[in-house]
Amino acid sequence: MKKLIIVIFSILILYGCDYIEINNLVIISGMLIDYKDNNYYITSQIIENENETKIKVYKTKGVSIEECLTELSKLSNKDLFISHLKVIILTESTIKNKNDYQDYFLRDSKSKMNFYVYYVDDKYKDEVLNIYKDNKGSALYIKDLMEFNNKIFSSSTPLSFLDLIYKQKEYGIDEIYPNLVVKENNGEKVLYLQNIIGFNQNKEKIILDDKDGIFYNMITNNIQKTSINIPCDNKDFTISLNDIKTSYKWNNNIFNINVKTNGKLSSYECSYNLDSVNSTKKISSIVNTFIKRNINDIVKISVNNKIDFIGIGNYIYRHDTDYFNFKNNNWNNKLDKIKIKVNVDTTITSIGEMRK
Amino acid sequence: MKNEKINSFGLSSLICSLCSAPFYGIFSSYTLHSSRNATPISLIIGFVISIIISYFILQFFKTNKNTNFSSKLKNIFNNFSYFLIIPTLACSLFGYILLTYRLTTFLSSQYLIETPKYILLISILLLTFYVANKGIETITRVSTISLYISIIIFLFDFFSLLPQVNFQNFLPIIDVSLNSIIISSIIFAFYFTIPIIHINIISMNQIVDKEKFNKYYYLTILIAFIMIFLSMSTTIGILGINTSNLFDYPLYTTLKRIKLFSFLDSLENISIMLWILYIINASSTMLSFVFSSLKDTFKLSIKKSKIINILILLISFAIPNFIFFNNNYNESYEYIWLPFSLLVFMFIVIIITLIKNRLTNN
């Protein structure tokens, strides 16, 4: 009997002083953080549960994130619940001028840090969280958008919050952000992932378009498969690449990017007849050249703009610490002095159902 | 102390809790901070030192097999033993206070933010007091079950996180001075092994299958080490050392990365059961050790013993409010040396007991 009393007493006090009804919680699913004139402007997408689930969007202003969220709590008359946060969207101003917005999310114990970070241009910032308000909300839609892109197109690259912190803390690697835009199609506005955006040390914006995005993901091992169109004799063919593996090697002061992949022809309009081994080898060689050229273009963007989003410096730091004093010098200024060699090896495993 | 019979496996499962309790959520952040990428190396060196220290502790346990800790020291040192027993018990009590208070701050900072810390502290103290009063036989039964649960939880966590490990994060393997690695190894060895001294709450003769004890003793030390080693290495592999050092509980932050079937998350809330079980088991053992040693040393009656036990509980509640500041950084890094010096003292007691026993026998 004594034990039963102890157990019941323990259960009753198990939640301490932290019990809050779910109806009294404001669940933040997405946040857009803008920074101007020493103030944060936060647009929050919240999920309210009263008689029914409703998506609402509020804008608040404050000198800190905490102040903005306190204002949000006052506006909605409820306690905030930040553990369900799925996306934070940053504007150019926030990225360039106020990197310590991260402190709030790192320090707050309720923050799970499992959300993703996006970039949005100023012209879309007022729309991006408002678009799917009557549906499940933009934040959840963006999460599905990225998953779908990753699975099928791989033109964008997800950036989780912890990955962002990792890249900012490690030597020789710079973060780049997936870019959200709002597109109008047949009178309807939709959210769209277009391009990847980075900022170099001079705060200049660097853009990788969708095609560059595919090859960026290839060399950073962010995709397992993709499809690319390759020109040949004024026509082109499509090849599906899978089992894409990229490795780096730092040897004799040359940085090697080695890409190995298998390919399957999806469509073919070129003049080479495919029923000979030589033709398959020729196709393989064309694919290798095409991929190599595109990867070299990515490398040029990185080198010319002094932004190491590939992580060349990070690899060299880990394998040859004495090569460069990463602690006291700026690696991005050294980037153009590195010899970078790209090697691509594509094995055509299948030419499809047709034999020619 | 009533004549309790314990089996080797039960006592050894307690060793796993005693070894691991100082690390999960407590000194792991210090180890990552001081030895950085060389943490795996410093853990391995620390483990080698631990094996040596644990050998001495086992020899101490085997000295005068029909006596427990206080009786052992009394037989060897006579009246001088009081100058060894009382400081040792004070060290154990401090260890108990440190573990329970650190668990309180963890639960308070992560889960029950609005709840005053003293409420959590009282709950934990009452729980450990209750378990400690039940005796070592109950504690070993609890720790046996805890061992199985903790292994299952650990294996689940490890294999869930393994695909996220980036082996490049372990490079460069050594990015601190040799001094830092050695200091970190020694600190690890002492925190890992000295708590095992609390198995002297019973005499070796109380173990029903004592011939198996050696085997289980080293086996559980090995299991505890493997779990700590893999946990810390996984943390470095996933977060990288620079990101790990941002957090007060880097292992817990790593556990937040576990996600199953793309919708099951927050599984870290189940995984921390492992930490809580270890800390409760270890702190109950330490408290039970203090209670029984005091009773044996001063030959206290049951009534007086109960009064002293309650006084000790009150002291355990009062001391954290005076000694420990409300600052996790201080608790993680600044208070490493005070407990370490107490652990060194306990080790010295073991060594001089062994030496004196050998000299007496010769």
Q: Tell me if B172 and A318 make a contact (CB, 8 A cut-off).
A: yes
10 Å CB burial of residue B299 (0-12, 13-18, 19+) is exposed
Take residue A54 and report the two structure tokens written for it.
Answer: 């409703």
Distance between CA atoms of A324 and A15, rounded to whole angstroms?
53
Which residue in chain A has the smallest CA separation from B123?
A10
Q: Tell me if A165 and B243 make a contact (CB, 8 A cut-off).
A: yes
pLDDT at B351 over 90: yes
pLDDT at B331 over 70: no
Selecting from A13, A83, A166 the residue whose C-beta is nearest the C-beta of B239 gives: A166
What are the percentages of helix, strand and coil residues in chain A, rounded to 5? 35, 35, 30
Q: Tell me if B265 and A112 make a contact (CB, 8 A cut-off).
A: yes
Global pTM exceeds 0.80? yes
Q: A318: distance to nearest CA of chain B, Å? A: 5
CATH topology (fold) of A211-356: GMP Synthetase; Chain A, domain 3 (3.30.300)
Selecting from B115, B246, B253 the residue whose C-beta is nearest the C-beta of A18 gives: B115
Selecting from B115, B246, B247 the residue whose C-beta is nearest the C-beta of A17 gives: B115
Q: Which residues from A are below 8 Å from B160, CB to CB?
A: none
Buried-state track A16-42, b at ≥16 Cβ within 10 A, e below 16: beeeeeeeebbbbbbbbbbbeeeebbb
Q: Tell me if A321 and B112 make a contact (CB, 8 A cut-off).
A: no
Using pLDDT thresholds of 50, 70 and 90, give the confidence band for residue B333.
low
Q: Are strands A53-62 and A79-81 parallel, antiparallel or unpaired?
A: unpaired
Which residue in chain A has the smallest CA separation from B116?
A17
Which residue in chain B has the smallest CA separation from A112?
B256
Q: What is the pLDDT of residue A236?
A: 84
Those residues of chain B whose CB sits closer than 8 Å to some CB in chain A are 109-116, 119-120, 123, 168, 171-172, 175, 239-240, 242-243, 246-247, 253, 256-257, 259, 265-266
Selecting from A16, A318, A321 the residue whose C-beta is nearest the C-beta of B115 gives: A16
Q: Tell me if B257 and A169 make a contact (CB, 8 A cut-off).
A: no
CATH superfamily of the domain spanning B8-361? Amino acid/polyamine transporter I (1.20.1740.10)
Q: Tell me if A16 and B114 make a contact (CB, 8 A cut-off).
A: yes
Q: Tell me if B239 and A162 make a contact (CB, 8 A cut-off).
A: yes
Q: A323: distance to nearest CA of chain B, Å? A: 13
Selecting from B116, B246, B257 the residue whose C-beta is nearest the C-beta of A106 gives: B246
Q: Tell me if A109 and B172 make a contact (CB, 8 A cut-off).
A: no
**Predicted complex ipTM:** 0.86
Q: What percentage of chain A exceeds 90 in pLDDT?
A: 46
Per DSSP, B264 falls in state B
Q: What is the pLDDT of residues B191-229, one digit of tens each?
A: 999 999 999 998 888 898 888 999 999 999 999 999 999
Instruction: Count A/B contacts: CB-CB distance under 8 Å.
Output: 60
pLDDT at B261 over 80: no
pLDDT mean over A311-322: 93
pLDDT mean over A159-163: 93
Q: Which residues from A are below 8 Å from B110, CB to CB?
A: 109
Q: What number of other Cβ atoms are within 10 A of residue A297's Cβ?
A: 14
Q: Tell me if B175 and A18 make a contact (CB, 8 A cut-off).
A: no
Q: What percentage of chain B exceeds 90 in pLDDT?
A: 57
Q: What is the pLDDT of residue A328?
A: 85
Q: Tell me if B110 and A114 make a contact (CB, 8 A cut-off).
A: no
10 Å CB burial of residue B288 (0-12, 13-18, 19+) is buried
Q: What is the pLDDT of residue B330?
A: 57
Q: Which residues from B are below 8 Å from A16, CB to CB?
A: 112, 114-115, 119-120
Q: Which residues from A are below 8 Å from B112, CB to CB?
A: 15-18
Using pLDDT thresholds of 50, 70 and 90, give the confidence band for residue A11.
low
Q: Which residues from B are below 8 Å from A170, CB to CB?
A: 240, 242
Q: Tell me if A18 and B113 make a contact (CB, 8 A cut-off).
A: yes
Take residue B209 and report the two structure tokens written for it.
Answer: 């299958």
Using pLDDT thresholds of 50, 70 and 90, give the confidence band for residue B325.
low
pLDDT at B47 over 80: yes
Distance between CA atoms of A80 and A65, rounded to whole angstroms?
13
Using pLDDT thresholds of 50, 70 and 90, give the confidence band for residue A279.
confident
Q: What is the pLDDT of residue B192?
A: 94
pLDDT at B13 over 70: yes
pLDDT mean over B97-107: 89
pLDDT mean over B240-252: 91
10 Å CB burial of residue A176 (0-12, 13-18, 19+) is buried
Q: Which residues from A are below 8 Å from B172, CB to CB?
A: 317-319, 321
Take residue B277 and report the two structure tokens written for it.
Answer: 């079980």
Using pLDDT thresholds of 50, 70 and 90, give the confidence band for residue B329.
low
Q: Tell me if B242 and A319 make a contact (CB, 8 A cut-off).
A: no
Q: What is the pLDDT of residues A172-195, one digit of tens each?
A: 999 999 999 998 888 888 888 988
What residues contact B359, with CB distance under 8 A and at least 6 apart? none
pLDDT mean over A105-111: 87
| Domain residue ranges of chain A, discontinuous segments joined by + | 211-356
Q: A156: distance to nearest CA of chain B, Å? A: 20
pLDDT mean over A190-207: 91
- For tokens 């914006």, the residue is A205
pLDDT at B1 over 50: no
Whether residue B170 contacts residue B237, with contact meaning beta carbons closer than 8 Å, is answered with: yes
